[in-house]
Amino acid sequence: VCYIAPMNTPDLDGYIKDGNHHMKVRVYFEDTDFSGVVYHANYLRFMERARTNYLRLLGTDHRSLFEDTTSEALGFTFVVRSMTLDFFKPSHMDDVLDIVTSPVEVKGASITLRQQCKRGENLLVEAKVRVAFVSGGKAQRIPSALRELMEVRA
Amino acid sequence: MERGRTNHLRLMGAEQNAPAETETPGFAFVVRLMKLDFHKSARMDDVLDIVTWPVAVKGASIVLAQEVRRGTDVLVAAEVRVAFISEGRAQPIPKSIRALMKADLD
């Protein structure tokens, strides 16, 4: 798995500002359920995309550090170990959502992220997500280069 | 897990001829909170067992425990709080549903 973007695509990847990753998502009909609101499990998909893009941008913004990581732990990836989700308000067709991702804790082999789904100033969903660093099929210590990248912002 | 919850409710309704439907038309449960622990992974062709049981019945919400199992292995464990919604708003859970869920708690 390689998170390094082949090209710079800010419209797709979102951006990092003050240590938080922001990504916009438009709600389409396919995202809603029979009652017309976004189906709750689809927020998990939006958040997964945001985490992927956050890592992608860390890679492009700090390419040299990220290359240290990939040489230290070849074919690394993050797997979700636990999630806590609070659903406060619904969202609907055509809404533009902002998915905000922030690292809150970096441990030996896992990282805890806070992810918020907002519509304007309204907080719709908040999640705490613990992801484990996996390389060669096993949980591994997070390489120092990657740890530094996230710790700066945590 | 959504399917597990839907069928859990469906079976409760079927057994009791859905008395809640007449009390509060057009009701639904919406997910308010989920806590998920991912312990092991499932693979192509696995047969999973989704086990759902109520752990608490409150005024307007129900807390369910759910597990995804493969044989005796627990792959994912969840706690899910669902709120009772009727006519677009959170409502107290009708006695009939409350009684059904509570019966399972004991």
Q: Is the pLDDT of residue A151 over 90?
A: no
B83 within 8 A of B59, measured Cβ to Cβ: no
The residues facing B61 across adjacent strands are B83
Instruction: Give the residues across from B74 on adjacent strands.
Output: B69
Question: Are B16 and B43 within 8 A, CB to CB?
Answer: no
CA atoms of A74 and B67, how far apart (whole Å)? 33
Which residues of chain B lie closer than 8 angstroms to A35, CB-CB?
A: 28
CB contact under 8 A, A85 and B34: yes
Q: Which two three-digit tokens encode residue A93?
A: 């067709």
Q: pTM here? A: 0.83
pLDDT tens-digit profile, chain B (106 residues): 999 998 988 888 756 555 555 666 677 889 999 999 999 999 999 999 999 999 999 889 999 999 999 999 999 999 999 999 888 788 898 888 888 887 777 5
Please report the pLDDT score of residue A12 as a whole number. 85
The answer to whether residues B13 and B73 touch, using CB atoms and an 8 Å cutoff, is no
How far off is chain A from B9, nearest CA to CA, in Å? Answer: 17
B93-97 own/partner pairs: CB under 8 Å, 24+ apart: B93/B57, B93/B59, B93/B60, B93/B61, B93/B62, B94/B19, B94/B20, B94/B23, B94/B24, B94/B27, B95/B23, B96/B16, B96/B19, B96/B20, B96/B23, B97/B12, B97/B20
B39 → chain A, closest CA residue: A81
* Pairs across A and B, CB distance < 8 A: 33
Nearest to A81 among B32, B33, B38 (CB): B38
Report pLDDT for B11: 86
Contact between B64 and B82 under an 8 Å Cβ cutoff? The reply is yes
- Tell me the C-alpha to C-alpha distance, in Å, between residue B77 and each of A26, B19, B67, B74: 31, 31, 5, 7
The angle at the Cα of B79, spanning B73 to B84, to the nearest 5 degrees, equals 140
A85 min Cα distance to partner chain B (Å): 5
A1-23: pLDDT as tens digits:
455 545 667 788 999 998 899 99
DSSP code of residue B103? H
Query: A-chain residues within 8 Å CB-CB of B86?
Result: none
Contact indicator for A56, A13 with CB cutoff of 8 Å: yes
pLDDT tens digits for range A108-138: 999 999 999 999 999 999 999 999 998 888 8
Whole-number mean pLDDT of chain A?
87
